[in-house]
Each structure stands twice: as structure tokens, then as C-alpha cells.
Structure 1
Amino acid sequence: SDTPGRAAPFTPYLPPTPPAGAGEKPAEPEVFVPVARRPEQGVAVVRSESPQAVLARTLRPSDNLLAESLLATLAHPPGGNGTLRGALARERAFLRQIGVDLSGLKLADGSGLSRDSRLSPRALGTLLTVMHDLPYPTPAAQAAALKAAQPARLLPAALYRSRGNAFIEALPQAGTGENVPAHDGRGGTLALRMRGLNLDVRAKTGTLPGVSALAGYVTGRSGRTLAFAVLMNGPEDTPILTLRAVQDRVVQAMVQAH
């Protein structure tokens, strides 16, 4: 309607008064939330977690459903048209804006489960570099810096070293040794990889039959932060553990070389 009407006055719901027993005073209605303390008059209120917490719950256990849900938010107006095509177009627009080379790049979904998706190590490397440099600290890091009146602590390199970069800290961390099926620890899908090597690896895995990938960050022997992306494709019967072992050796070689 071009002329919206007015909603009916809000009337708080009160459960019926429980009947009283013989010789007893009628019991008071059981009100879940006192009317005077109700801040809203809606049907329900849902408050989401912080973006960093949602990212961690998505990236660490590699939750494909949550990844698709995050992509779906790009379809929401304003800016979105409610379609998968529109959401993927917004994703491409962001990648173009931050300087990612889109040559040969094809986005088909949010989780990477589609074999129609095409990425390059160079594209991932550019994305990782930009996400390292963006000044998006975790809430704890931001509060600590403001309390100490030291804005320099929010510089990218300092954020990385102090584990304060919100995106990077949402990634799995290698070698923590946690129970992977639990999917509730810091290590996530990297918990059992590169154990005992004393390496600082924070990265995202990618797995399909015959396909394995690892992309993220590692601290080199010199203390420098290194971004890397290893994409491996082969026949569907290629042993995934073999591919992962090669990736782990590549990461170790990078640390020794830099």
C-alpha cells in the first residue's frame, strides 16, 4: 500500500492465572519477562555474534553451510538483488576494488564445493595481503590499544604479531593438537598438521576428492610475515594425505628460506 496504516496498540500477553487449590489464594500469572522491562514490542529479537566470531565459526572447522550463509548476506538489499548471481557479482566487485587479478577467476558458490569455481594462487595471495593490511583489529586488541593510548599497536605488522588481526585470527592454526571432530578449538582443520615443528601457521584448507589447497600466513625464520597459497588438482583417486604432506613441506621450506 502507498499509505501504510497504523498497527494496533501493543498489549502484553499474560498467561492465564493458575487455578487455586481449596483454601488457597489464587497464584500470580507466570510472566516470562516483566512488562516494564521489555525494551521491544516485537515478536522476537535475535542479536548476532561479532563478525570475527562468525568468521571463526566458519573458517576454523570449514563450515560450508555457514560459508554459503555469509555469501547470501551479499544478496540482501541495499546493494543486493536477492539472487546468487547478484551476490557473486558483489563479491567480484570487492575483489576488483582491492586489486585482485580476475583473469580466469570464476566464482560459483560461497563454500568452494562447486568444481565450477576457479581461483589462482596469485589472486589468493593478493587477497591475503590486503586482509593482512586492513586495520580491522579484534575487539580485545582494539580495546587494549585504546586503553594504552598507543594507536601504533593497530598497525598491520603489530596486529599480526600480537594476534590481533580479526580476519587472520579467525583462521585455523596449525599444530594445536586438538580433537578435530569437535570443531570447537583454535586449530580447526589444521589442528593435527605440522605438530611439533614450532611453526606459526594460520591458514585455510580446501578439500575435494583429488583436490587439496592451503592458503594463509606463516612467520618466516627472519620474523617476517609470509602469505602463501598452494592449490593442488589431480585425479579424484589422488591420496589427499599425500597432497597435504607436500603442502606442509612447502610451508617449512618457505620458513627456512625467509
Structure 2
Amino acid sequence: MSQQRGTVVAAGVLAVCLVVAGLVTWRVDDVVGLLGAGPDTGWRKGVPPNDRAVLPAAAPAAPVPDAAQVAAKLQPLLADPALGTNVTAHVVDVASGQVLHGKGSDTPTIPASTIKVVTAVAALSAYGPNHQFVTKAVAGAAAGEVVLIGGGDITLSAAATGTYPQAATLPDLAEQVKKALGGTAPTKVTYDVSIFTGPAVGPWDSDIPTNGVVAPIVGLMTDGGRVDPKVTRGSTPRVQLPAGTAAQAFAKLLGVPASAVAQGQAPQGAKELGAVKSMPLSRQVELMLVESDNVIAEALARHVAIKRGKPASFEGGAQAQMEQIGELGLPAGELTLSDGSGLSRGNKVSPSLLAELIALSAKPDKVNLRSVHSGLPVAAYNGTLFNRFKKSNAGAGAAGMVRVKTGTLRSVSGVAGVVFTADGRELAVAILADGVAAGTNPTLAAQDALDRVLAALAACGCK
């Protein structure tokens, strides 16, 4: 109980500070939910004492950092050999819009998972933060047939509780179906996955479909395609037939034998027997960003395609997102997409576009984009930053002062998010390095080098 209480207290402090900063509308239990998979002592262990150990309130009245001094601090750090042969960067003051530093600012660079910022903004601007995806069950053409229609909600849970908090569940849907059928026992389950089209595997490195970071992308799955729904972080085995696996779980809940489950399509005008709604889109965006969830990202890209009348495929999602970003008045010409997750090396984006998207989501009149901010991991605290900013030589002093989306592929490392300076200015920053040496140790060294850059910004008065 004492450990759990410590988690709640830490989460409460974080939530209060975020609300004061005007960045987030997270509830305390939301924060605790995101932290549930990690050790609850992680916020303190290994982090040097710091009276700004959580995100501070922004101080827009503080002086804007001097661009020349920012450049003087960052240039040698961005030249760190650990960042490899190609580094681009952009830093902008959020409140004023003043550019404080740039290095190849408008040069499209491989972003890895930092591209999820683009996916988040595209989805939220297309649908709004309160949109929910619906999984339905309808009566089939044959007597006793129930058709399960995938709604593209990959957070759907196969059990009463699963990988994602606040998820819709198959048990809930099954109970609705039983009630709608009355005393009639279902005899067959057909599953309809027509909401998404095209290949289920993206234009990725050959090992990605099997290394546990993503599942085949289809319109019906449970728990993000995980074999074990209890594993909420990092790589984990994924089922190879997510739709069939979900349909089998649904059939079992209805008492239908596995042999009576088949793929098909729902008849036109079929009677609805039940429906369950996903958690709000804003919540899915937060979960996608904080843990870099590739399956959520790919599903959201397809939903943007649906909204814009394009095929719900990798290609259609990429085209739709580029159009959606362009409609925000941002330079979509600096953006090339092949997927929504960043697993593809065909993605290219300029650091200035990423930083401008982050800054846009911080604007008071962009409430619909607020969950871009609330989903960014906090340095040394949660998500993909849980184990970063804890080394004295790699940014430990900036613990809690940085919120960034991370991006990592072989030879690629990047960050995009916000940094609070010593004076309380909020800076939007993106740094992309796509010429990092291959291998595990160079990747970790590149991450440390990026953390030192962000820590320098956090410590900077630079007046």
C-alpha cells in the first residue's frame, strides 16, 4: 500500500504542476494509469535532488532567451560525434514564435517515432479529441449468425480488463448481443474487417514485423495484437492473425465453437445487436505518444484516411495525413510519409515542421490538440523517457523539465517536444539524427547526446 500511495502522490504532484502550466487536463488516475506498468519509485530513484523535479509553470513574462547565446550553447553539443553524420535541429520560443536556433531546420530527415507527433496532430485536427471508434455486432444473413464488425479500435480488450485503460471490451459487447437475441443461441460468428484495406505489414525493415514492436495492421484486433495483454510496455510477442484471434475470443464469450468462426462481411441493413465505443481519441493519442505505441499510430493514420475519403491503407493514411497537415497552414512540402508510426525509413520531416507542430499544440486556442502535450513523456518519469535523464553526464539535472517524443531506429535517433528553461520559458524543440553509427552502444550514446542538448536548454537563461 505504501508504494501505491507513493505513486499516487507523485502523480498528483505532476498533474497539479501540469495544470498550473496550462498544458494538460489529465486527471490523477490517468497519470497513475500510464505509470502502472513501471516501478512506482522511478521518479525519485537515481534522480538528483532538484527543487524543479516536476514540470514548472510556464512564465511567458520572463525574457525570451537570446538566440546567439542559445546557439553558443547548442552548436558544440549538436556536433557530438555520437549523433553521427547528419543532424538537423530547430528551437522556437512557444509564446513569441521566435526562432532561437536552427541547424538544417527545413531539411527533411528520417524521424523514426517522432513522426507520431504528426500522426497525433493529423488525427486530432481531423476528428476532434472526443471522437470514439465503434465496434459493432449485427445479425448475419443466416439464422443464429452474429457478425462482429471491426471499427478500427485496436485498444479493444478481449477481457474485462486488458492492455489499455478505459478500453471498450468484448465481454461488454457479448452481453449486449445475448440480451438482444433473447433466448436464441448464436451458432456462428463472422468477422468483418473491411474498414481497413491494403497490406497488413508496412514498408519496414525486414525484422520489424516479428520483433514485437508492432502487429499486423487490421481493422479488428484486441489489446494491440499482444499475445499477453498484461505486457503494456516495449516489445512483446504479437499474434499473427489479430482479427481471427479477436473473433475467436468473441465466439467463446457467446458459446460458439471455434469451428464456427469465419471471415466475411456484414449484410447491408443488418440489425444491430450491440456496440461498444473506444476511449476518446485524445486518450488514444496520449497512450500512443507516451509509450510510442506503433499499432495505435498506424490505426489512427488509417482513420485520417477514412475521414478524407482515401483508402484506409498505409499509402492512403500517409497521403491523408500530409494533406491534413497542409491544411493547418504548415509546410507540408517538408513532409514525406510512408506510414503513421515512424517505423518506415521512407518517412522524412524537417525539424522545423515538428517543432512548429509542438508549438501549435501549446497554443491556448488549440484545445483540440492539447493531448499532444499531455501525451509527451516526461524526462526521468514515464513512458519512453522513464530510464533517460538519470545519468549525471546525460541530462539528469533536467529531469522533469523536458517532455519529448523519442524516435529510434537503427542509425536513427531523435526527439521532438518541449523544454522549460531555468527562467520558465517554454521552448519547442526537434532534433533529428539519421546518420548514427549502427549497433546498440552507438544508439545509447546518441540518446545520451540528445539528452545533454535538452538539458543545456533547460539550464539556459541565455539572456
TM beyond 0.5: yes
Is 1:216 matched with 2:417?
A: yes
Map of 2:298 onto structure 1: 68
Residues 58, 64 of structure 1: 8 Å contact kept: yes
For 2:377, which of 172, 180, 196 is the aligned residue? 172
* Structure 1 position 188 matched with structure 2 position 357: no
One-letter identity of the residue aligned with 1:230: I
Aligned twin of 2:429: 228
Q: CA deviation at 1:48?
A: 0.9
Q: What corresponds to 2:338 in structure 1?
A: 108
- Whether the 8 Å contact between 2:360 and 2:366 is mirrored in structure 1 is no
In the TM superposition, what whole-angstrom CA distance separates every residue of 1:194-241 from its partner, at most 9, and x where no partner exists? 135244211100110111111101111111111000101223237111
Q: C-alpha distance in 2, partners of 1:119/1:78?
A: 21
> Which stretch has the larger CA shift, 123-132 or 82-91?
82-91
Q: SS state of the match for residue 212, structure 1? A: strand
Secondary structure, counterpart of 1:252 in structure 2: helix
Residue 329 of structure 2 is matched in structure 1 by 99
Alpha-carbon contact 1:98-1:130 (below 8 Å) kept: no
The letter for the 1-side match of 2:279 is: E
Distance 2:362 2:292 in 1: 20
Q: TM-score, normalising length from structure 1?
A: 0.66
TM-score, normalised to structure 2, is 0.38
From 249, 254, 258, give the equivalent of 2:457: 254
User: What are the within-5 Å matches in structure 2 for residues 40-79 of structure 1?
Assistant: 42-77=272-307, 79=309
Higher strand share: 2
Contact 2:317–2:340 (CA<8 Å) still a contact in 1?
Answer: no
Deviates more, 1:218-227 or 1:100-109: 100-109
Q: Tell me the matched-pair count.
A: 193
Q: Percent identity?
A: 31
Distance 1:85 1:249, change over 3 A: same
What code does the residue aligned with 2:305 have? A
Once residues 352 and 374 of structure 2 are traced to their aligned partners in structure 1, the CA distance between those partners, rounded to angstroms, is 22
Deviation string, structure 1 residues 127-174 (Cα, Å, up to 9, x no partner): 111111164559xxxxxxxxxxxxxxxxx9xxxxxxxx3220111111
Q: Distance in 1 between matches of 2:378 and 2:449?
A: 18
Can you give the 5+ residue segments of structure 2 that lack an aligned partner in the other structure? Answer: 1-140, 142-178, 186-253, 255-270, 391-395
Give the conservation status (yes or no) of the 8 Å contact 1:136–1:166.
no
2:402–2:458 CA contact under 8 A, matched in 1:
no
**Contact 1:204–1:215, Cα closer than 8 Å, also in 2:** yes
Q: 1:206 to 1:75 in 2, by over 3 A?
A: same
Q: State the match for 2:96 in structure 1.
A: none
Shift of 1:87: 2.4
1:8-55 CA-partner distances (Å, limit 9, x unpaired): xx9742168xxxxxxxxxxxxxxx9xxxxxxxx723311110122111
2:273 alignment partner AA: V
Q: Is the 8 A contact 1:99 1:126 kept in 2?
A: no
**Which residue is 1:85 aligned to?**
315
CA distance in structure 1 between the partners assigned to 2:424 and 2:307 by the alignment: 43
Q: Supply the distance in 2 between the matched residues of 1:249 and 1:208 (Cα, whole angstroms).
A: 20
Aligned to 2:58: none
Structure 2 contact 181–273 (Cα < 8 Å) conserved: no
Report SS of the residue matched to 2:359.
helix
Q: For residues 162-190 of structure 1, what are the alpha-carbon distances to aligned partners after superposition, in whole Å with 9 as ceiling and x for unaligned? A: xxx322011111111xxxxxxxxxx1000
Q: Give the SS at the match of 2:340.
A: coil
Q: Which has the larger radius of gyration?
A: 1
Amino acid at match of 1:58: M
Question: Could you tell me how far apart the structure 2 residues matched to 1:124 and 1:228 are?
Answer: 8
Change in Cα spacing, 1:74 to 1:134, as seen in structure 2 (3 Å) is farther
Distance 1:130 1:113, change over 3 A: same
Aligned partner of residue 285 in structure 2, secondary structure: helix
Does the C-alpha gap of structure 1 residues 101 and 68 become closer, same or farther in structure 2, counting only changes over 3 Å?
A: same
CA spacing shift, 1:14–1:123, aligned 2, 3 Å: same
**Counterpart of 2:303 in structure 1: which amino acid?**
T
**Residue 248 of structure 1 aligns to which amino acid in structure 2?**
D
Q: Which has the higher contact order (CA 8 A, sep 6+)?
A: 2
| Cα distance in 2 for residues equivalent to 1:107 and 1:227 | 22
The structure 2 residue matched to 1:241, chosen from 444, 449, 452, is 444
SS class of match (2:336): coil
Amino acid at match of 1:124: L
1:14 to 174, 183, 195: 183
SS of corresponding position for 1:227: strand
Shift of 1:91: 1.1
Give structure 1 regions of 4+ aligned residues with deviation exceeding 6 angstroms.
none
1: CA distance between counterparts of 2:387 and 2:304?
Answer: 33
Other structure's SS at 1:55 match: helix
| RMSD between aligned residues | 2.8
- CA–CA separation in structure 2 for the residues paired with 1:81 and 1:116: 19
Tell me if structure 1 keeps the 8 A contact 2:380–2:387.
yes
